[in-house]
Amino acid sequence: MFCTYSFTMRFFHPSSFRFSSLLLLLFLMKLSVPFPVLSETTEHTVLTGRITDYRTGSPVSYVYLHLEKINRTATSDREGKFRLDNVPQGTWTLVLYRIGYVTQKRSIRIEPGEKHDDIEIVLQPAVISGMPIEIIANEEDVRGPRLEKSSVRISGPELRSNLGSTVAETIAGRPGFSQRTMGATAARPVIRGLGDARVLILQDGERTGDVSYAPPDHSVTIDPISANEIEIARGPSALIYGSNAIGGVINIVRNQIPTSRPTALTGTASMHGFSVNNGISGAVNIKAPYRDDFVWSLDLNSRYGQDYSTPAGSLENTNMLATNSAAGLSYIRPWGYSGLAVSTYLSRYGIPPNPESGHPGGVDLDMVKVQVESQTERLLQNRFFNLIEVQWSYRFYNHKEFEAENIIGTEYNVNTVYATVKGRHNRVGFLNDGVVGFWAKFQDYFIFDRFNLEANSYAASLFTVQDFDMGNWNVEFGLRLDAHMVVPKSEELDSRIGHIRRRQYIGLASSAALVYDFGRGFYAGGSVMHSFRPPKPDELFSRGPHLAAYAFETGNPDLSAERGLGTDLFVRHRSSRFSLETAVYRNTFSNYIYPRDTGRRNIIFADLNDYQYTGVHALFYGLETSGEFRISNHLRVEGMVDYTFAEQKVNVKASDVSGTESSGPESTGKESRTLPLPMIPPASLSAGISYEPGVLTVGTKVRHSFKQKRIGEFETPTDAFTVLNAYLLYRFNSSGMLHTLSLNVDNLLNTEYYHHLSRIKELYPEPGRSFNLLYRVYF
């Protein structure tokens, strides 16, 4: 038995850094080499233009422009001018966001040699808007099913008015979305009942390198206050990022590596206060040109909060302190750009105490993440590919869980190198522009606890996402071939959890989506996704106490890969006054992996329950509907309903370790029965009304969550509750700068309620009334 505790910070372990690891690194380095030798002459297209107000004709500053698919972003300056560098030939969707104006999408076609240096864009003031649902302004620019993908983008006013202290909280109000929590800081999004590794969280298109997918006490290492926008991708486009994201991909866009040269120094400064925990956060984000070809960016933020208050009293040990800062530099040339960014995430937060699970004072987590990333794009003309992108990053992640002063219960140490090469091709035959790529990962994974877990993970993927049009149909499809290998430091034939050994997984994930345009803003469609998720090292080899999660986690080295089959159908209508979307979905899993509470007390840590990683057959289905209706130019109502049903099929002998290659629930021949899965959100509905007479928006939203009595083993039900929220948004211009103020009152009536996806729902209610004030200035 081994135990290693003689260090505090550790990068690659010499003994684990094998020759194969070195080869992989050299290979990743090699990926970047072709760029300087690509000497073909290229014509770079720079999109420049000016944005004006539809009514007054005056310039509109601080418009956030995003060229989808190729992720070019820019912000218009005080004169309304903008610039997007290095746009390859093809047809692209340009999305424009601006507070106080209708979000606009337009299709832009770039032909070789064509100039796009004087584009005039007119924005229509949003008499009502200022709130969530994207409104389409210029119908002639956005006709066609290609623009009606299942991906969603949260930006501008929606992001501002829903901005919470975590990414999960920020997006939890959307239909089908919820959040798994454990205290105030440890929160992770749940989509249609699916969470953990089935929802992939990315920062600027790459994985975070943290362990938030694992036990519920781990937080996501991205502060939402720095997000320029949040993209949520589902269906085929999710396969660009991973095979496992059947729930969806959440990409927090911070643009740490600038892709275009701003016309002048631009940025934002924000202050955000929360009364519920006497919390405050601040952020400064700056981008500026330097000499002719360089752009630098700086992103500084920090967050502080004391213990949360609830209607039942203070929620002990939920204080937090975090900072998430980054600096980037890009070299932008006619052939493309190359950039580098360095960022850090430092955090200390508390997990509330559980006297029955061995920590009456709670557990404190110290988190450190350092990442270095590089992104290079090369434009190619008159070739099969019009754009080649290489992205690689190194992430060091460490967190320590302090059970008491100087006593570390669990420590995670993860070093990860990611590399991606993507090529975006021109139209080929009937296929529109699509993407083909390669992705690789090397990860050195170490958990220090009673027994330690040390493993290296290797992964490589080939993927493609394509789409084509057939009349009013748009068809999108994607394939991703994944190979994963998890190598424990040492093989153990006869450990307590079974035969610890090297595991390899190869699988093909696929997805297809269809959208039909009926005209007049009516669309219908559906998608199918066959997902592939190899088990994580924790799921295979864990065997240690995790006090903060109230669990002794036991892995299962025999686990096979999780396979899911997801289908959904939707109908959608959008017009200037009315929008409605309804979707139904069904997801089945042949080996849904989750830590099952066995209800048994652990023999080594008698105050913790054994949580056994198990694979079961699982079924999810549900529906979600959301809509918005403009009663008048100033008044708008909105509503939302969602419902998820989830169950698992288990052996009658519940103590069996199922889901293994040799002893799965079906292969044992035993009778099986269905049980609800734990941590599934109850049905909920919400309704809201907002009034916007001008630069001021006031509104209120009421959310009702039904009782959840379909509970997993050893889980407790939660009662229904109704929570009332209110908000006030105000904006003004001064000295050429745009100022915004957002006042949100969460849980206005100070209702005591228990969230079913909270790991501490048996012990503590959710936070009470909170006045949240966000001030942001755009300069």
Partner 1 sequence: MPFYKVSLLISLSLVFISACGTPHAHEVPVGIILYQGEEKLLIQDEGILTYIERDAIEVLHGKYSDTISVEFIADEGHRYLPDPTEFSLVITHGNTELLGVDHPVGGDEWSFRLIGHQTGETTIRFELLHIDHFEFRSQDFDVHIRDQENSHI
Where do runs of H (alpha helix) occur along 630-727?
A: none
Cβ of residue 730: shortest distance to partner 1, in angstroms? 42
Cβ of residue 426: shortest distance to partner 1, in angstroms? 25
Answer for which of 130, 289, 336, 339 binds partner 1 (CB under 8 A) is 339
Question: For the window 493-532, what string marks contact with partner 1 as x by the rule CB under 8 A?
Answer: ---x------------------------------------
Per-residue DSSP letters for 151-215?
-EEEEHHHHHHH--SSHHHHHTTSTTEEEEEETTTEEEEEETTB-GGGEEEEETTEE--S-TTSS
Cβ of residue 85: shortest distance to partner 1, in angstroms? 16
Cβ of residue 153: shortest distance to partner 1, in angstroms? 29
Report angle CA 61, 63, 67 to the nearest 5 degrees.
145
606 sits near partner 1 (criterion: CB under 8 A) = yes
662 sits near partner 1 (criterion: CB under 8 A) = no
Cβ of residue 415: shortest distance to partner 1, in angstroms? 7
Distance (Å, rounded) from C-alpha 137 to C-alpha 120? 15
Cβ of residue 373: shortest distance to partner 1, in angstroms? 8
Q: Which residues of 364-375 are buried (b: 16+ CB within 10 A; e: fewer)?
A: bbbbbbebebbb
Q: Which residues of 326-335 are buried (b: 16+ CB within 10 A; e: fewer)?
A: bbbbbebbeb
For β-strands 609-630 and 551-554, DSSP reports them as parallel
Residues 444-473 close enough to bind partner 1 by CB under 8 A = 448-452
Report angle CA 581, 582, 584 to the nearest 5 degrees.
150
151 sits near partner 1 (criterion: CB under 8 A) = no
19 sits near partner 1 (criterion: CB under 8 A) = no
Phi, psi dihedral angles at 380 (to 5 degrees): -125, 135
334 sits near partner 1 (criterion: CB under 8 A) = no
Cβ of residue 47: shortest distance to partner 1, in angstroms? 24
Answer for which of 94, 249, 390, 760 binds partner 1 (CB under 8 A) is 390
Structure-block tokens of residue 176 = 């089908």
Q: Which is nearer to partner 1, 7 or 19 (CB)?
A: 7
Answer for which of 185, 277, 338, 740 binds partner 1 (CB under 8 A) is 338
Place of tokens 């105000």: 730
Answer for which of 221, 226, 415, 542 binds partner 1 (CB under 8 A) is 415
Q: Which is nearer to partner 1, 6 or 734 (CB)?
A: 6
443 sits near partner 1 (criterion: CB under 8 A) = no
Cβ of residue 512: shortest distance to partner 1, in angstroms? 35
Answer for which of 366, 597, 607, 713 binds partner 1 (CB under 8 A) is 607
Number of residues that bind partner 1 (CB under 8 A): 57
Q: Which is nearer to partner 1, 35 or 468 (CB)?
A: 35
Distance (Å, rounded) from C-alpha 610 to C-alpha 544? 10
Answer for which of 195, 350, 409, 437 binds partner 1 (CB under 8 A) is 409
Q: Which is nearer to partner 1, 134 or 401 (CB)?
A: 401
Q: How far is CA 108 from the centre of its chain?
A: 28
Amino acid symbol at 724? L
SS3 235: helix
Distance (Å, rounded) from C-alpha 252 to C-alpha 112? 32
Distance (Å, rounded) from C-alpha 315 to C-alpha 378? 52
Answer for which of 134, 231, 307, 403 binds partner 1 (CB under 8 A) is 403
Q: Which is nearer to partner 1, 496 or 673 (CB)?
A: 496
Report angle CA 349, 354, 356 to the nearest 5 degrees.
155
Phi, psi dihedral angles at 292 (to 5 degrees): -90, -30
Question: For the window 536-575, what string marks contact with partner 1 as x by the rule CB under 8 A?
Answer: ---------x------------------------------
Cβ of residue 558: shortest distance to partner 1, in angstroms? 21
Cβ-based neighbour number of residue 470 at 10 Å: 11
Cβ of residue 112: shortest distance to partner 1, in angstroms? 26
Residue 555 contacts residue 546 (beta carbons within 8 Å): no
Q: Which is nearer to partner 1, 602 or 751 (CB)?
A: 602
609 sits near partner 1 (criterion: CB under 8 A) = no
Answer for which of 18, 23, 27, 29 binds partner 1 (CB under 8 A) is 29
37 sits near partner 1 (criterion: CB under 8 A) = no
List the one residue out of 346, 340, 296 whose CA is nearest residue 325.
Answer: 346
- Binding segment (CB under 8 A) for partner 1, from list 162-170, 388-396, 690-698, 728-736: 388-396
Structure-block tokens of residue 101 = 């104006």
407 sits near partner 1 (criterion: CB under 8 A) = yes
Q: Which is nearer to partner 1, 179 or 415 (CB)?
A: 415
Amino acid symbol at 61? S
143 sits near partner 1 (criterion: CB under 8 A) = no
Residue 256 contacts residue 373 (beta carbons within 8 Å): yes
Cβ of residue 42: shortest distance to partner 1, in angstroms? 17
374 sits near partner 1 (criterion: CB under 8 A) = yes
Answer for which of 25, 431, 685, 737 binds partner 1 (CB under 8 A) is 25
Cβ of residue 535: shortest distance to partner 1, in angstroms? 24
Q: Which is nearer to partner 1, 604 or 720 (CB)?
A: 604
For β-strands 635-651 and 578-601, DSSP reports them as unpaired
23 sits near partner 1 (criterion: CB under 8 A) = no
370 sits near partner 1 (criterion: CB under 8 A) = yes
What is each CA distance from 66 to 104, 105, 173, 299, 329, in whole angstroms? 11, 10, 24, 19, 19
601 sits near partner 1 (criterion: CB under 8 A) = yes
For β-strands 770-778 and 551-554, DSSP reports them as unpaired
Answer for which of 39, 118, 494, 603 binds partner 1 (CB under 8 A) is 603
38 sits near partner 1 (criterion: CB under 8 A) = no
For β-strands 248-253 and 551-554, DSSP reports them as unpaired
Report angle CA 51, 54, 56 to the nearest 5 degrees.
95
Answer for which of 241, 396, 550, 621 binds partner 1 (CB under 8 A) is 396
Answer for which of 304, 331, 730, 775 binds partner 1 (CB under 8 A) is 331
Residue 7, judged by CB atoms within 10 A of its CB (0-12, 13-18, 19+), counts as exposed
Distance (Å, rounded) from C-alpha 716 to C-alpha 710? 9
Residue 636 contacts residue 127 (beta carbons within 8 Å): no
Residues 734-753 close enough to bind partner 1 by CB under 8 A = none
Distance (Å, rounded) from C-alpha 271 to C-alpha 455? 41
631 sits near partner 1 (criterion: CB under 8 A) = no
Beta strands in 4-63 (DSSP E): 47-53
Distance (Å, rounded) from C-alpha 463 to C-alpha 461? 6
10 sits near partner 1 (criterion: CB under 8 A) = yes
Binding residues (CB under 8 A) for partner 1: these are 1-7, 9-14, 17, 25, 29, 32, 35-36, 329, 331, 338-340, 342, 358, 370, 372-374, 376, 390, 392, 394, 396, 403, 406-409, 415, 417, 448-452, 496, 545, 600-607
